[in-house]
Every structure is written in C-alpha cells, then in structure tokens.
Chain A
Amino acid sequence: MGLKKKNSELFVNTIGLLITLGIAFFLVIILIFILSDEPGKTIYYFLIGPFINKYYFGNMLNSAIPLIFTGLGIAVAFRASMFNLGGEGQVYAGGLAATVICLALPSAGALVGIFLAVLSAILVGGVIGGLSGFFKMKWDTDELISSFLFSAALILIINYFITGILNDPNSNLLTTPLISDKYFFLYIFPPSRLDISIIFALLTAILVFFFMFYSKWGYEMRMCGLNREFSRYGGINTAKYIVIPMFLSGGLHGLAGSISILGTYHMCLKGFSGGMGWNGIAVALIARNNPLAVIPAAIFFAYLEAGAKAAMLHSDITFEIAAVVQSTIFYLITAQALYNFVRYRKRVEV
C-alpha cells in the first residue's frame, strides 16, 4: 500500500479550471463573430491588445491591484465559511475615508498622511464588515444579507456626501476635491498609470497566505470554516472567528479603496469603485480562495477588461462585451465551484 500520486486532486482541479476558461473564451469568440463586422481584428485586439504597448499593459496591471485586495478579502472570509457580500460599499467607504484624511491633513508629512489614510480606510472597512460578523455572533443574523444591506445603504450615504458637503465646487465632475499631490503613489511604469502599490498588493497576498496557512489564528479560522462544531468541541473560541474574518475581509476591501484613491484617482469620484467588490468574489472563486492564486486571477480579470477596452478602441464593438465576458466567466466558475462542492460531499460523507 505505497504512496503514489498525491497531486492528482490538484491536477483534476486545474484541468477543470482550464476547461471552464476554454469554454468562456469560445463563447466570447462566438459573441464577437455575432457582434462585430470585422471579427478577425476584434479578436486580435481582444486577445493581444493588452500586450501591444507599455501603456495598455501597465494599465491592465494597475486595474488588477484593487481586485487583488478585494479578492483576498473575499477569500479570507470564505475560508472561515463567512460570506461578505458588502464589498462594494466597503471599498467605497475606504476610498472616502482615505480621501477625507488626506484633505483634512494638507500639511502633514507625506508618509504620515499616507499611513493615516490607509489605516483609517482599513479600520472603516473592517468595522463595517465586522459589524455584520458581530450581528451574527449576537443575534445569529445572516451575514450574507446584513453585509449586503449595509453596503447598499452606505453607497447611497457616501454618494450623498460626495455630491453634498464634500463636493468640489470647482469641478464639473461629481467628486471631492483633489488630494494633495505629495500623497500620490509613485508611477513605476510610465506612460501607464501603474503605480508602486502593485508591490504592496503582492506583499499583502503573501502576508495573507502566510497568515491563513502558517499562523495559529489562520489555522483556527480555517478549522472553524471547515467544521464549526468540531472547532467548538476542540476548544476553539468560535464566536471570535465569526467577527475576525469579517473584520479582516472588510479591512482588505477598505484598503482596496484607499489604494485606488492614492494610486489612481486622487479624489473620491462618485461611483469610482463600482464593480470592485463583485469582481473580487469572482477572483476569489477562480483562485479557489488561495491567497497566492488571487494574484493571477485578478490579473486575468483585469486582462479581460483591458482586452475588451482595446478591442473597443481599435475595432467596432462596444464595451458591454467586456461585461458579458466577465459574467460568462463568473457563472461558469461559480458552477464549477458548486460542482466540486457536490462531488466532494458525495465522496466524503458517504
């Protein structure tokens, strides 16, 4: 009874993912044939567009940055068997918090200001997420619903501030004033907008990975996620691990918001974060909640968007196709995740 192929499970999963992505691409190509008068050119730009110059390539990586953070946020919660559907609002709130700090401290040192802005964004996001966890711990309310509702309400409130007292009267955009340029993150790949925070994103992914798989907290959190009854039996304080993962998840979302402000937008534009929360869920699913796999998954998602943009600029399709592609992939990935779940249960519980 020797030991043989240990990796076959991983192998099967990867193959499954590749098949899913293959189907998605196939569908996209069919769509392009239907929607475009010059499908050859459109497909070319869709697939190769993001790589044809530094500008496109850098921007693609730049738009992956917030997705790395939100993907990590979702993955952390998922691993603890918690569902954070409030990502949209948490990113937005984090962005606003960072902007407000920067605007309130026009004359602080650059590093101090950045530090405070990022910290406040993490705390704001964390508290919003943690609140759903706290409600669940206290009154057993469903965190999936409460986080979604909080987020929906928050978005309206934040819009109110941006278009109201925080509005920049000198701009004809619906936005807050620009933050001081000493707080801007350094561009590292001109002429694109890619900034130094990509390094920060990579480090965060590594840190989260390490936390989940090598720390005691991470171990206890994962155990709670896999079997709460077992964890309680084993003496783990399970109530704690209802609140903590939601706090961390919210915090990572808030962080995503602040990084986007400091690196890309430099002001809190109304609706700047739209989609970052939802796409984070897809990214986490593609990555199977593995923090390191979140990096390629986020870049892949950004690639789809960048490809669609390039195809739009150089050919005759509209941007909506990117949304169609993303949702196609989202559905296929979710379906595959569900399939694996069912197959798994069949094997183990029988």
Chain B
Amino acid sequence: MSYLEMRGIIRLYKESGVLANDKVDLSVEKNEIHAIVGENGAGKSTLMKILHGLERPDQGTITFRGREVSIANPLDADRLGIGMVHQHFQLIPQFTICENIVLGIEPKKYSIFFDREKARGRVMGIIKEYGFKIEPGLTVSQLTFGQMQLVEILKMLYRQADLLILDEPTSVLTEQEIKKLFTTLRNLKKIGKTVIIITHKLNEVKEISDRVTVMRKGKVAAVKKTAEVDRKELSRLMVGKSVLYDIERAELTRGLPVLELKEVTLRQKNQDMPLLDKLNLTVHASEIVGVAGVGGNGLAELEDVVTGLRRISSGEIYYNNNRITNSTIHELREQGLCYVPADRLYRGSSLRSSVKENMIITNSRNFQKAGIMSQKRVQDFADTLTAKYSIDGDTALPIGYLSGGNIQKVILARELEAKADFIVFSEPAWGLDIASSEFVYKKILQLREQGSAILLISSDLQEILTLADRVVVMYKGRIAADLANREITKEIIGEYMHGIRGDFEVK
C-alpha cells in the first residue's frame, strides 16, 4: 500500500457538464517527488483540489498513510498534513508575510486578540528551521513571484504539511527562482516530505521528479519512473502523438519606430528610488523586443506605463510619432494597442462573465448596430475563436469555470485576433501546454512578419531567446542591457538580471 492512494476518482462539473476526472487512480510513495503532467483541461487541478478538500469527488476513495480518509474541506486536509499551493497565488497582497502565513490559525492572546509577537516568533522559527532567508515583516505586494512562492510553501510548512501539492509553481518564476525552488523541494524531500508537482515543462519533470503520472482527457494515460521516459515519450503520452517544437524565426529587416520611450521615469510617493529610471527604448515595426528581469525591477511598471494604465512622472512616450505620454488605455486601444497582461485573473479576464463576454471586451463596438448587440455575431465570433485556438469550454458559461490554461487561451485569442500594429505580451505562455504554447509562439512570429511591433515581457528566458530580435534587461528600474539576439546566452542575460554585469552597454 502506497503512502497516498486515490482510487477511481470521478468528478463531473455539473455547471459545465465536464467530466474532469474519469476514474482516476493516483498513487504516490512516501518521500518521493511525483509529477503530474497533461494538456490544458486534462483534469490535473481538479484532482489536486479533491485531494485538498476544495472539490468533492462524485465517486472514489482516498487512502492516506494506510487509512481511508474523507476530506471535506481544506481544514481537513491541513489536519491530515496535506498542503497545497494553487495555480494562482492565494496571498493577501496588503498583509505581511507573517500575517499571510498564520492566516486562519493565528496565535491568540487571551484567546481573542491576534498575538503579533507570538506569530512573528513562530514564523521566524519555521524560516530558521528550514534554512530560508526572508524577512517576515515585508508586505506581500512588495515581493517577487519567487518570494511569494516561498511564502506559499512556508504557509504549508507552518501547517505542518507532510504531503505538499504544488500546482504549476514554476510558470511565472525566472530560471534562478526555479532553481531555488527545486533546491528547496529536494531539501524537503531529504527531511522526509512528499511532494506532488504539476508542470507543463517536461525538462522540469525530468529534473525534479522521481515518478510521473500522465493525464489525458480526465483519465490517467500512464505512470512512469521518470528515469525511464524521455521528453518525447512523455509528450506522446500526453497528447497521443509526439509534438516536436519547431519554431523558426525568419530573418526580417525591421521597419520604422512604432513605440518610443524617451527618458521615461516613474516615481512613487515617499520613495527615493524611482520605479522606472530614465528609460529609453524603441520598438520598431516587424520587431520583437524581449524584456527580461527579476520581479521587482520595473517589469510590471513598464507594462503599465506603455499600455497607458499608469501615468509617468517625467519623460515622453511616442506612438507612430504621436505623443501619447498622457493617453489613457482607452485612447491607445482605439489607436490599435493590443495587450496580454501578466495578471490574467483580474486584469485579463472577468471571471464571473461568460467566455463570450470576455472575448469581446476590446471590440464590442464591432458587434453592435445603433447600440444594439447582435447576439448572433458575438456567438459566431466566439465559435470561431474557440475552434481556432482549441479552447475547451462552453462559451456561454463564466470563464472562471475553465482550466487555467484555457483562460489564458481566451485572452490570447482575443488580443491576437485584433491584428494591431503594437502588441504588449506579458508572460504569454503562462500555463499553456506544449502544443498551445507552440501555437501561440507561431502566431506571435506571424504578427511580426505582418509588421507588428511587439514588446514581450517574460520570466522565461528560453521564450525570449526563441522569439525576440532584441533583448532588453531591466535591473533596478533601469535598462541594464539592450542586446541583439545573436550569440547571447541565458547565462549572459542572467548576469545582467542580477546586476553582476551592467557596466557597459551593447547595441
């Protein structure tokens, strides 16, 4: 009998009529790192939510440490020692790290008041015990994604979890952050913890896991020892045929400048260090400029500034030679901006609105006549996008019912279809499975060939090196390097990202 046995798990989502888990068996040995892979919508998150008590299975049993258990809610799971980090962070940005960690099981003074001192002491204890370095008094909104991930892990450890579930923990992390995370996971394994990890990146599966369960369309397609399969085999098991990455970036001469930033500076009240410090950056037609950087160095701010969501403190921005320094996103959209944001859950989509309604937010005027929306045209448009981008879900239902990867596909479909001359992508392939990200990469390159100017902000250096013509590295709100994508390596970019290099500029 294994450490964890899930047997015959069935889960039908009545709202969408989707059989997300169809007699799924999962067995995990004590002290192993077990990977779960599968295409978008294969049912991975659902299975893990069942294990963590967020969803109830319609049928099936869970045996944990040799005993059959019933997990009705996350508290039950915590009590059993099962912790989970969700596909999307569950932290409260305004709270400190410490407050987030103890949330729900705070130490109390006189059994009613929050005992801040004791909470801090305990959290420090956990941080020391596992050998991390982080200051628990920091507010979560100041953290990088890598640090947030660590807070999520600390939250589990604080609850004394022995089985740790991580749903796509690496998708927004930089390579260094991923390395750190993996070291942490290996250490946790060493001291006797068990880990289940979901990821779309097969090299990560190879690197970190002992065994891997492959899911396909709600069922288990295979269970393998990681050492005994290669990536090709895995991707064949996932989709039923082997997918080969072949992305070819054609040589193109770039066109005229489309977006120009001149001495763009963004300051925050009461802070000496500007968030963006005299940025000069030009994106030309038929050019993809990749922006790399560790979180907290101005990437998010750059994203907000070029899309008109945030006013700059000084400097100028030009778009096709027109000054747009003070234009709102509303005005920029009218002039042909398209934008895939990093924050896909609150900015990029409206979870309670239907998939259809999410698809037409930027161009609703195309579906109206004299102010009346044509339902039929909206439906036709939605059907076209669903087919073209292989989105798995009913367009009349709230987008929140879709799997993480499918939500991302809806956002991409909407923005890619608009065929703008200037497009901002932030983490475009976040959460996409291999086939979908390949499709999206090809689409981005196609837009470049059609003459769009593209700004690609990404934590994934491989993605940047695959797509970008030029790579810009941000460090402390400044452009530390602006390099042509020839003969540069991840290592070089990495050095700029961490401020190890940066004393000279190459064009």
A348-B398, A350-B54 known; A227+B371 contact, CB < 8 A: no
A223's contact among B14, B217, B350, by CB below 8 Å, is which?
B350
* B17 A214 Cβ-Cβ under 8 A: no
* A1 B217 Cβ-Cβ under 8 A: yes
Query: B360's closest neighbor in chain A, by CB?
Result: A219
A233: interface (CB < 8 Å): yes
Nearest-CB distance from A281 to chain B (Å)?
21
A3-B16, A236-B361 known; A348+B352 contact, CB < 8 A: yes
What bracket does the count of chain B residues touching chain A fall in? 35 or more
* A215 B400 Cβ-Cβ under 8 A: no
* A219 B346 Cβ-Cβ under 8 A: no
In the bound complex, residues from chain A placing their C-beta under 8 Å from that of B446 are: none
* A226 B353 Cβ-Cβ under 8 A: yes
| Residue-wise interface mask of B (320-344) relative to A, using a CB-CB cutoff of 8 A (1 in contact, 0 not) | 0000000001101110000101000
A219's contact among B12, B49, B334, B373, by CB below 8 Å, is which?
B373
A4-12, A45-53, A248-256: which lies at the interface: A4-12
The B contact surface, by secondary structure, is loop
B394: interface (CB < 8 Å): yes
A348's contact among B19, B334, B341, B351, by CB below 8 Å, is which?
B351
Which of A6, A8, A9, A344 has the most B CB atoms < 10 Å from its CB? A6
| Residue-wise interface mask of B (361-388) relative to A, using a CB-CB cutoff of 8 A (1 in contact, 0 not) | 1101101100111010000000000000
* A227 B350 Cβ-Cβ under 8 A: yes
In the bound complex, residues from chain B placing their C-beta under 8 Å from that of A219 are: 357, 360, 364, 373
* A5 B372 Cβ-Cβ under 8 A: no
Nearest-CB distance from B311 to chain A (Å)?
14
A231's contact among B17, B332, B361, B396, by CB below 8 Å, is which?
B361
* B86 A350 Cβ-Cβ under 8 A: yes
Query: B307's closest neighbor in chain A, by CB?
Result: A233
* B49 A350 Cβ-Cβ under 8 A: yes
B507: interface (CB < 8 Å): no
* A6 B341 Cβ-Cβ under 8 A: no
In the bound complex, residues from chain A placing their C-beta under 8 Å from that of B367 are: 216
In the bound complex, residues from chain B placing their C-beta under 8 Å from that of A216 are: 364-365, 367-368, 371-373
Nearest-CB distance from A81 to chain B (Å)?
11
* A233 B353 Cβ-Cβ under 8 A: no
A227 CA / B357 CA spacing, docked (Å): 12
A233's contact among B17, B339, B351, B394, by CB below 8 Å, is which?
B339
In the bound complex, residues from chain B placing their C-beta under 8 Å from that of A231 are: 350, 361
A220: interface (CB < 8 Å): yes
Nearest-CB distance from B149 to chain A (Å)?
17
What bracket does the count of chain A residues touching chain B fall in? 20 to 34
* A230 B361 Cβ-Cβ under 8 A: yes
In the bound complex, residues from chain B placing their C-beta under 8 Å from that of A140 are: none
B126: interface (CB < 8 Å): no
* A223 B357 Cβ-Cβ under 8 A: yes
A216 CA / B377 CA spacing, docked (Å): 13
A4 CA / B307 CA spacing, docked (Å): 41
A281 CA / B333 CA spacing, docked (Å): 37
* A235 B400 Cβ-Cβ under 8 A: no
* B400 A347 Cβ-Cβ under 8 A: yes
A229 CA / B353 CA spacing, docked (Å): 13
Query: A346's closest neighbor in chain B, by CB?
Result: B54
A219-B364, A235-B334 known; A6+B396 contact, CB < 8 A: yes
* A214 B373 Cβ-Cβ under 8 A: yes
Which of B330, B341, B368 has the most A CB atoms < 10 Å from its CB? B330
* A232 B309 Cβ-Cβ under 8 A: yes
A5-B14, A6-B17, A6-B396 known; A235+B353 contact, CB < 8 A: no
In the bound complex, residues from chain A placing their C-beta under 8 Å from that of B15 are: 6, 8-9
A84 CA / B354 CA spacing, docked (Å): 26
A229 CA / B392 CA spacing, docked (Å): 25
A223 CA / B353 CA spacing, docked (Å): 8
> Which A residues, 197 to 222, have Cβ-Cβ distances below 8 Å to chain B?
214-217, 219-220, 222
Query: B378's closest neighbor in chain A, by CB?
Result: A219
Nearest-CB distance from A306 to chain B (Å)?
37
A62 CA / B59 CA spacing, docked (Å): 53
Nearest-CB distance from B495 to chain A (Å)?
34
* B17 A4 Cβ-Cβ under 8 A: yes
B17's contact among A5, A222, A229, by CB below 8 Å, is which?
A5
B218: interface (CB < 8 Å): yes
* A1 B347 Cβ-Cβ under 8 A: no
In the bound complex, residues from chain B placing their C-beta under 8 Å from that of A6 are: 15, 17, 394, 396-397
B330's contact among A8, A237, A347, A350, by CB below 8 Å, is which?
A237
* B362 A235 Cβ-Cβ under 8 A: yes
Nearest-CB distance from B144 to chain A (Å)?
21
In the bound complex, residues from chain B placing their C-beta under 8 Å from that of A3 are: 16-17, 394
A344 CA / B367 CA spacing, docked (Å): 30
* B373 A215 Cβ-Cβ under 8 A: yes
Nearest-CB distance from A290 to chain B (Å)?
15
A234 CA / B309 CA spacing, docked (Å): 11
A226-B352, A350-B86 known; A235+B333 contact, CB < 8 A: yes
In the bound complex, residues from chain B placing their C-beta under 8 Å from that of A1 are: 17-19, 217-218, 392
Nearest-CB distance from B305 to chain A (Å)?
14
In the bound complex, residues from chain B placing their C-beta under 8 Å from that of A233 are: 307, 309, 329, 339, 341, 347-348, 361
Nearest-CB distance from B187 to chain A (Å)?
28
A216-B364, A216-B371 known; A230+B18 contact, CB < 8 A: no
* B372 A230 Cβ-Cβ under 8 A: no
* B19 A230 Cβ-Cβ under 8 A: no
Query: A11's closest neighbor in chain B, by CB?
Result: B14
* A344 B350 Cβ-Cβ under 8 A: no
A232's contact among B329, B357, B398, by CB below 8 Å, is which?
B329
A236-B330, A348-B352, A350-B54 known; A230+B346 contact, CB < 8 A: yes
B349: interface (CB < 8 Å): yes
B90: interface (CB < 8 Å): yes
Nearest-CB distance from A219 to chain B (Å)?
6
Query: A237's closest neighbor in chain B, by CB?
Result: B330
Nearest-CB distance from B76 to chain A (Å)?
15
* A8 B352 Cβ-Cβ under 8 A: no
Query: A240's closest neighbor in chain B, by CB?
Result: B330
| Residue-wise interface mask of A (270-299) relative to B, using a CB-CB cutoff of 8 A (1 in contact, 0 not) | 000000000000000000000000000000
Residue pairs across A and B with Cβ atoms less than 8 A apart, 12 shown, are: A6-B15, A220-B364, A227-B349, A233-B341, A233-B348, A234-B361, A235-B329, A235-B334, A235-B361, A348-B351, A348-B400, A350-B49
Rank and list the top 7 A-B pairs by shortest CB-CB distance, nearest first: A235-B333, A234-B361, A4-B17, A227-B350, A348-B400, A3-B17, A230-B350
| A contacts, CB < 8 Å to B | 1-6, 8-9, 214-217, 219-220, 222-223, 226-227, 229-237, 344, 347-350
| B contacts, CB < 8 Å to A | 12, 14-19, 49, 54, 86, 90, 217-218, 307, 309, 329-330, 332-334, 339, 341, 345-353, 357, 360-362, 364-365, 367-368, 371-373, 375, 392, 394, 396-398, 400
| 16 additional A-B residue pairs with CB within 8 Å, beyond A214-B372, A219-B357 | A1-B19, A9-B15, A215-B372, A216-B372, A220-B364, A227-B346, A229-B346, A230-B347, A233-B309, A233-B341, A234-B362, A235-B332, A235-B334, A235-B362, A344-B352, A348-B398
